[in-house]
Amino acid sequence: MFAAAHHISLRQLYKLFHQQGLTVAGWIRQRRLEDCRDALADPAQRSRPAHVIARRYGFTSYAHFSRLFTARYGHSPSDYRRTMSTEAAAGAERAGGSADTAVHGSS
């Protein structure tokens, strides 16, 4: 799909990624992990379980997702979410606003 969208062959696509020290699959996995990290930090998604967020971004096994997330960010998904919630609340208290304001800014 990526190759066709950019009018190059699969071989050229893989070569371009290889030149950057990446694989196509690794790059896609990294993007999906970043999307999950952003969703876990989003106060608007606080009620959505981490396994639902992982599945939304293509991780069918929560255990696999959790291992990848922990390896990449140094925290389990639930610890990361808890840390982000605590930091947002502390930032809001310092700013005199709510936790949502600290993360997303004022409206």
pLDDT tens-digit map of 34-85: 999 999 999 999 999 999 999 999 999 999 999 999 999 999 999 999 999 8
Domain that holds residue 77: 28-104
- Does residue 7 lie in a domain region? no
Q: Which residues does 27 contact at the CB level (< 8 Å), separation at least 6?
A: 17
- Does residue 5 lie in a domain region? no
Residue 4 has pLDDT above 90, yes or no: no
CA distances from 38 to 33, 34, 41, 97 (A): 9, 6, 5, 21
Q: What is the pTM for the complete model shown?
A: 0.76
- Does residue 88 lie in a domain region? yes
CB neighbourhood size of 86 (10 A): 11
- Does residue 19 lie in a domain region? no
Torsion of CA 80, 86, 92, 96, to 10 degrees: -170
- Does residue 65 lie in a domain region? yes
- Does residue 8 lie in a domain region? no
Residue 103 has pLDDT above 60, yes or no: no
Number of domains in the chain: 1
- Does residue 23 lie in a domain region? no
- Closest by CA position to 42, among listed 106, 100, 107: 100
Can you give the pLDDT at residue 92? Answer: 67
Angle between helices 24-41 and 62-73 (to 10 degrees): 90
- Does residue 10 lie in a domain region? no
